[in-house]
Amino acid sequence: MEASSFSKRLLTFLGERWSAFFLVFMIFVFSLVAPNFFAVKNFSNILYFSTTYLLLAAGETFVIVSGGIDLSVGFVMGFVSVFSSTIMRDLYALGAPQSVCLLAGALVGLLLGLIPGLINGLLVARLRVPPFIATLGMYGIANGVALNLSKGFPITFLPPRAGEIGNSFLAYFFPGRGFTFLERPEGLGGDDLRLLVGILPTTVIVTGVVLLVFAFVLVRTGFGRHTFAIGGNMDAAIRAGIDVPGHLIRVYLISSFFASFAGVLYVFRAGIGNFTTMSASYELFAIAAVVIGGASLFGGKGGIGGTIIGVLILMTLENGLNITGLQAFYRYIATGVILIAAVVIDQLSPERETRSG
Amino acid sequence: MAEKVSAASNPGLSPFVLWTGRNWSFVFLVLELAVFGILGVRFLRLENLQNILVASTTILLLGVGETYVIISGGIDLSVGFVMGFGAVNCAKAMVLFQSQGVPDWMAILLGAAAALAIGLIPGLVNGTLVARLNVPPFLATFGMYGIAFGSSEIISKNTPISGLPALTGAIGNGYVLYWLPGKFLRLFSRPEGLAPLELRRLIPIIPNVVVISLIFVGIFAFILARTSFGRHTYAVGGSRDAALRAGINLRAHLTKTYILSSFFASLSGVIYVLKFVTGRADAGSARMLDAVVAVVIGGASLYGGTGTIRGTLIGALIIATLETGMVNLGIPSFNRYIAIGVILVIAVLIDQFFPELVRKGE
């Protein structure tokens, strides 16, 4: 009796934290197999490329916790990336100072990016369209608008400051000369640059701050509690007096906001604006990350911390596959399998039975 | 008779409004053809109309499988990438058979058969997940969306597969009849040794791929409308409990529906190979949305229980006409994504708020 309850507790403990263990295990394996994997520079790289997925998945976490889903995030991101870079390019061409161009582009992009979320939210909350259909429609619309605006080509000739900011680091370490913050040490030649170590990309810090704020919102505020309540039991939430439609609209707005943020960040990182290709499958990776992080696709469960681990698992996998020389396309398969496995496990878990029964 | 009964049960709506509402997609298609016919250049010519038919085959094939799934109350988001999977498998198999010294026509046939057989696997997995493990359809097939794309990229090594038998393109881009007015009518093969002037006057009639597609579409339209398999599909989507009580093997039936959807996606991949003489992983990536929208335009409810192949055919034609018409008018074809997204949402809203227009009453 006692032993069984102990083993049950152990299983629950492992089950709830399997993703963290899995991440550690994966880092361990890749460190053994791939020679250059375990290095500060590589980890910094993984984080650098994770930012897009971290942002998309954080927004998706809110939607999934509320019991919905948002398939449009990848294309909303592309739409904002194209829009804000177009504004930057045009202002720059008119001779505006770089800072004005960048600020205006980023702000307008973030604002425009709220429109898809508002429409998704209205469709889901007020018109009761199933979330995956409403956001699938938006998937097409946002993609069409982005392609239309960009004519199918990347937006180039942006102010050069964009790329500089997006690829800067919080601190630089140059052996023998110590640290400098935010700016590279001056007067370094080509060979010296190779020795320069950048610590923590600025984009990672910005992403981290935004995630922290929203993790706080989800866990500690009434807004977060209501999100869980709606996803856990919609009827109870209504009886408890929560304005469910109003709340759901805000949830889809948050998801869209994160996607826009990812779009703007992309412009700074890449120094160009680009639409999202059909097979990029951002939405697949974002949703899989949220689910790996312990969220239930039936709503009411999930967290930003888990989602971050989910994203890191997927990105470490991609990075490790690349370094070991395997095709990175295995990650599509792995992600699909993990997504399905997570849903099956969620479906079979005893907790769910008690909840629905 | 059925018209009268339902008209009487909706006293607020005149029969004309009701008819238009129910057949809005057909009315829309006619209007679309008329508008593009007036604004476009040579839009209503036989050649262009045949191009529309060819363009619609991909959407139609994906749509037929999707129709079964949607009627059964599910959805299949993987069809676009399963189509790419089918295309890659088909091309790879053709190249393989050809290198073994098999004659061209045989290599093509075997390649297509191999792709169709392998293409049943994604459907089997989807069906098992949905029917036996109770995974919500859009999640199971969304996982498959990643798996199928990754697999095809790995099989094709991220490059389009080329070096196919020359006969492939001749079949895929050929026509059933070639007619030179006043001179001759030839079956299947384009007559050789024609003067340039004669070549220009040569009228090809009925593209081969349309015939191949319509054979399969016809068979499965018949199955849906006239056999017990079809009736069971409606029953499963209409009321799961009632279907269970009626003794339908729900799990087996749902599994078969997803296999069917996967089969049609693979078939669409085979047709892609015939048409473009290459196999690519992203052959159908943009087409998933088109397929779902074609089915929904065709009057199917995303809540299950309604839908017809005839409706899906009209839906596919509407999208293909839109695509071809936009190119004809010089409008960037990107706009079709916007149009299709909007149509999807509107169709679902109509279904939601005016069910009497959509539900045709079994």
Are B146 and A288 in contact (CB < 8 Å)?
yes
pLDDT in tens, B119-131: 999 999 999 999 9
Q: Quote the CA–CA distance of A229 and A237 in Å, as a whole number.
A: 6
Q: How far is B271 from chain A (nearest CA, A)?
A: 21
CB B285, CB B272: distance < 8 Å = no
- Burial of B173-193, coded b for 16+ CB within 10 Å and e otherwise, reads bbbeebeeeeeeebeeeeeee
Beta bridge partners of A155: A273
Q: For residues B314-323, give the mean pLDDT.
A: 93
Work out the pLDDT band at B228, boundaries 50, 70, 90: very high
CB-closest option in A127, A147, A335 to B349: A127
| CA-based torsion, B341, B145, B117, B253: positive or negative | negative
Q: Name the CATH code of domain B21-171+206-358 (choices 1.10.287, 1.10.10, 1.20.1300, 1.10.3470).
A: 1.10.3470
The pLDDT, as a whole number, for residue B116 is 97
Q: Quote the CA–CA distance of A214 and A57 in Å, as a whole number.
A: 12
> DSSP letter at B205?
E
Q: How far is B126 from chain A (nearest CA, A)?
A: 10
The pLDDT, as a whole number, for residue A322 is 86
The conformational region for residue A265 under phi > 0 = left, psi -120 to 50 = alpha, else beta, is alpha
Q: Quote the CA–CA distance of B100 and B80 in Å, as a whole number.
A: 31
pLDDT in tens, B254-272: 999 999 999 999 999 999 9
Beta bridge partners of B186: B178
* Cβ under 8 Å to B: A residues 43-82: 69
Neighboring chain A residues of B154 at a CB cutoff of 8 Å? 327, 329-330, 333
- In percent, the amount of chain A with pLDDT more than 70 equals 93
Q: Quote the CA–CA distance of A241 and A222 in Å, as a whole number.
A: 13
- A353 in contact with B at a CB cutoff of 8 Å? no
Higher pLDDT pick, A314 / A197: A314
- The structural domains of chain B, with segments of one domain joined by +, span 21-171+206-358
Q: Quote the CA–CA distance of B313 and B321 in Å, as a whole number.
A: 12
- Burial of A337-357, coded b for 16+ CB within 10 Å and e otherwise, reads bbbbebbbebbeeeeeeeeee
CB A230, CB A248: distance < 8 Å = yes
Torsions phi, psi of A179, nearest 5? -100, 150
Are A129 and B345 in contact (CB < 8 Å)?
yes
Residue B362 pLDDT greater than 60, yes or no:
no
Work out the pLDDT band at B354, boundaries 50, 70, 90: confident
Are A278 and B133 in contact (CB < 8 Å)?
no
Neighboring chain B residues of A297 at a CB cutoff of 8 Å? 136, 139
CB B258, CB B76: distance < 8 Å = yes
pLDDT in tens, B2-36: 444 444 445 566 777 777 777 788 888 999 999 99
Domains of chain A, first to last: 29-348 (1.10.3470)
- Cα nearest neighbour of B143 on chain A: A336
Neighboring chain A residues of B138 at a CB cutoff of 8 Å? 69, 132
pTM of the complete model beyond 0.90: no
CB A144, CB B338: distance < 8 Å = yes
The pLDDT, as a whole number, for residue A190 is 67
Are A336 and B144 in contact (CB < 8 Å)?
yes
